[in-house]
Structure 1
Amino acid sequence: MMKNVRTRKKVRAVFIYLELILMAIIVIYPVMWIVGSSFGSSLGLANASAIPENPTLQNYRDLFANTSFPRWYLNTIYVAVANMFFGVLLSTLSAYAFSRFSFKGKKASLLTILILQMFPTFLTAIAVYMLFLNFGLLDRLTGLIVVGVAAQLPYNMWLLKGYIDEIPMSFDEAALIDGATRTQIFVQIILPLTRPMLTFVAVTQFAAPWMDFILPRLLISSEEKKTVAIGLFTMIDDQTRNEFTLFAAGAVLVAVPTILLFVFLQKYLISGLTAGGEKG
């Protein structure tokens, strides 16, 4: 009987490891293919491969010397950093207000925010375009920041609110008795205790502009204001200009900032994800 149980456990473990290996291959191979293609010696998609025959750095040199990639990159970093800063600031302040204060219309506001986060941002693309046209924000990076912060604010606010709700009110009460102000409580108690979740929100806010394509494509038109997503798309968007390996080199460089953030903030990200699953 015990032998049969051990056999079933071993068989189950084998199937689990086989599944994990298969999933790893499915996830890792496309990444290897893009990285390998970026070192390819030809520009076309037909000759791209995970292991190029004659690897070269020429695609990376051409990317910086013959395209506006450096400008696109700096534009995206500017949007990503601003999006992260204002997104974290506004979502944290609003989450703290909804978690710790009682005011008229609180439940209705929370319900409205919950409903708003269910709609994809691109569904409001035409309305956003008309608003930006009227306010003079078309073809401006400021407009992308406004859209990025507003799009993610409902979800991040709910995420942080659920986390702050689990922080005992006794901390606030004890600090108030000691003469602390609400600002001091927020800065010295709430922010340190919500650091894991704040890190998670900050990374997601930073990563969003690197992957966003639809709204920048709609709102940005000039070459000097393009983000990397739009700029790289122009390399493969028509039949007369098929620079796939150049596109692959740009895609590799696009992933670098987000990867570095995930590596250096891994501890806080795991804590934030775990806490979000338990408390959110």
Structure 2
Amino acid sequence: MNRKIKSRIEVTIIYVIIAFVAVIIFYPLVWTVGMSFNQSTSLYSSSIIPQNFSLDHYKWLFSESSDYLLWYKNSLIVSVANAVGSVILTSLVAYAFSRYNFVGKKNGLYIFLLLQMFPVMMAMVALYIFLNMLGLLDTLTGLILIYLGGQIPFNAWLVKGYLDTIPRELDQAARIDGAGHLRVFWSIILPLAKPILAVVALFNFMAPMFDFLLPSIVLSSKENYTLAVGLFNFINDQFSNNFTRFAAGSVLIALPIATVYLFLQRFLISGLAAGGTKG
């Protein structure tokens, strides 16, 4: 077998694998979009290509009888607060571990690495009691605090790896010119760290939009539900198993995520590629 034929076989195999993975990824998405335009409410009577195209489910989501807009607002509040708070906390923590030497630095990094091995749900009982003691149970504030605390170990490692690639000579030159710690952080480090901070912002914006388990434990009032918990009620109630409304609501979740992605896309590729270069 000559080299040309071998190369064609390898390329063909690669394309077959890519096509197979694409079908696995896109088939459920196409089904969800198609189901959202079906007139019926049952999962079994719906089809991937609607026989009777209808926008009734989307109209109902925006009607006064639906709480969808309230849940959407709650999810956006949590996602935006988590994204902004994560960028602030992570950048400060990662800057300290990247640029300064202090007692416990090495052990602190090991603790961060160890904490990444355990999901936040393992501490859910303790967090539930803690929020109850603070009076933050069944509040969006309590949910945001859990998200912010849970993201620090992974994001700190990610951002620290990126900051280690920024030459320290820039810091030293700024300090010679009279810049303090905050000035170096604000004027030198942050502008150069935009790619990795964009990655952190996107990941932490997406997480609350899709998360169901944590909000379902922390939140109990219908007016405080996030989208994942609220949409679950569409298919959980035995008297209103409305999968098509669930599909319509799920499709609209992609809009804010796509908007944030398009806004940050110029930073994302370089940030993802550089975040794990050093640790």
What is the TM-score with the length of structure 2 in the denominator?
0.96
One-letter amino acid of the structure 2 residue matched with residue 136 of structure 1 = G
One-letter amino acid of the structure 1 residue matched with residue 129 of structure 2 = M
| Alignment of 1:45 onto 2:54 | no
Deviations 1:156-200 (A, max 9, x none): 011111111111111101111111111111111101111100000
Give the total of aligned pairs.
278
Q: CA deviation at 1:265?
A: 1.9
Spell out the pairing of 1:90-129 with structure 2 (5 A cutoff): 90-129=89-128
Distance 1:7 1:165 in 2: 45
Spell out the pairing of 1:20-35 with structure 2 (5 A cutoff): 20-35=18-33
Distance 1:263 1:36 in 2: 25
Q: CA deviation at 1:90?
A: 0.5
Distance 1:278 1:134 in 2: 42
**2:166 alignment partner in structure 1:** 167
Distance 1:265 1:49 in 2: 35
Of residues 10, 22, 39, the one that matches 2:8 is 10
Q: CA deviation at 1:13?
A: 1.1
Distance 1:277 1:94 in 2: 16
Q: CA deviation at 1:234?
A: 0.5
Which stretch of the first structure deviates more once superposed, 98-107 or 194-203?
A: 98-107
Q: CA deviation at 1:117?
A: 1.9
**1:186 alignment partner in structure 2:** 185
Distance 1:34 1:58 in 2: 15
Spell out the pairing of 1:1-280 with structure 2 (5 A cutoff): 4-65=2-63, 66-279=65-278
Distance 1:264 1:93 in 2: 23
What is the TM-score with the length of structure 1 in the denominator?
0.96
Which stretch of the first structure deviates more once superposed, 257-266 or 219-228?
A: 257-266
Stretches of structure 1 lacking an aligned partner (at least 5 in a row): none
**CA RMSD between the two structures:** 1.2
Distance 1:197 1:231 in 2: 32
Distance 1:111 1:158 in 2: 10
One-letter amino acid of the structure 1 residue matched with residue 180 of structure 2 = T
One-letter amino acid of the structure 1 residue matched with residue 247 of structure 2 = A
Secondary structure class of the residue paired with 1:54:
coil
Distance 1:108 1:19 in 2: 43
Stretches of structure 2 lacking an aligned partner (at least 5 in a row): none
Which stretch of the first structure deviates more once superposed, 134-143 or 270-279?
A: 270-279
Distance 2:26 2:277 in 1: 29
Distance 1:49 1:28 in 2: 16
Q: CA deviation at 1:28?
A: 1.0
Distance change (3 Å), C-alpha of 1:270 and 1:115: same
Secondary structure class of the residue paired with 1:236:
helix
Judge conservation of contact 2:98–2:163 (CA < 8 Å) in 1.
Answer: yes
